[in-house]
Amino acid sequence: MSSTIDTIETLLVDLPTIRPHQLSMTTMARQTLVVVRLRDSEGIEGLGEGTTIGGLAYGPESPESIKRNIDTYLAPLLIGQPANNLNALRTQLARHARGNAIAKSALETALLDAQGKRLGLSMAELLGGAQQIHLPVLWTLASGDTAKDIDEAFQRLNDRCHCDFKLKIGANPVAQDVAHVAAIKAALGDRAGVRVDVNQAWDEASAVRGIAALQDAGIELIEQPIPAREHAGLIRLANRFRVPMLADESVADARDGFDLAAGGFSGAFALKIAKSGGLQGALELAHLAQTAGIGLYGGTLLEGTIGTAASLHAWATLPELAWGTEMFGPLLLEDDIVAEPLAYRDFGVELPCGPGLGVTLDEDKLAHYSRK
């Protein structure tokens, strides 16, 4: 007889960041993780994580709503169901609950973690097998201070932590942001690639001015310069400039990816398990992009170790990530809630070993940082 899902517990975990992290829509001094602990009738526990940025500043789900909706609506759909048929459980959630992609991603991660532990397989093996076990990781420079960002970049380079950098812009006037980015690229020269993430802050006219100047400054990739729903504008920008556009908020799932590709978009897609409702949804988007000749980038919502490890297992199954990954979320946090942190070295991170996620909780730290 197959095991069934017995209990699903959610915890809000507040972790301080190593420095203020400035984005176009907010500045973060802490990150709140929604940790899911799913247990089956055999006593096997699966871990999941749902994380967003800045409460409701980034999107329609907040940490509090993720927890409440799992507890009230999503968990009751799963409890008592067979634990090993992930496809049926995903269909159940999709049929009875609209949206809530981050909450669904957390639950899918916990289900896969439990299944991996049950079978003695890693999550990457459950998804077909890892094609790479060391993934490149860039670092985001988001202090907002040009001199501090330059110093931080050189420190990361010299420590062999990161050799590509992304800058969060869009909170300041276009000319001010461009000057900030150009100064950092000039200081780094050929030692590192520099990209920008505008986080939807520009209108199309501002984007034309900003991207032209950033292209001249040697910036290699422009992420989501205009609002997510402006697909036609993003396609126009992609076709107007040599520097490629990276679609992030514009492309949550394979349907969005199809619409952009069919419209003539050329550039790259940022994959995120949170916005795609889980690992399988993100990989569906990835496979569509590969078919359309669109590059891939392993994105983050600044998850902690659980969510980052889940993403790494998904990205590891792909043959190529043309633009690498930004799976640095745990490095932005002052502390962790796992017994063994991820191994960051040689400008990247190692895929965790062991069944499921390959991650074990530190119960004392979890209790310390969990919201009372």
By annotation, the residues acting in catalysis are 168, 326
SS3 213: helix
For the record, the structure tokens of 249 come out as 């908020």
Burial 293-307 (b: 16+ CB within 10 A, else e): ebbbbbbbbbbbbbb
Task: Spell out the residues 6+ positions from residue 61 whose beta carbon is closer than 8 angstroms to its own.
Answer: 50, 52, 99, 100, 101, 102, 103
Q: Tell me the HSE value of 182 on the side-chain side, using a 13 A CA sphere.
A: 14
Neighbouring residues of 151: CB distance < 8 A, sequence distance ≥ 6: none
211 vs 195, 198, 242, 351, CA distance in Å?
11, 10, 10, 35
CA distance 36 to 11: 7
Start-to-end C-alpha separation, the chain: 38
Most distant CA pair in the chain: distance in Å? 65
Strand, coil or helix: 165: strand
Q: What's at 299, amino acid-wise?
A: G
Q: What is the DSSP string of 172-196?
A: S-HHHHHHHHHHHHHHHGGGSEEEE
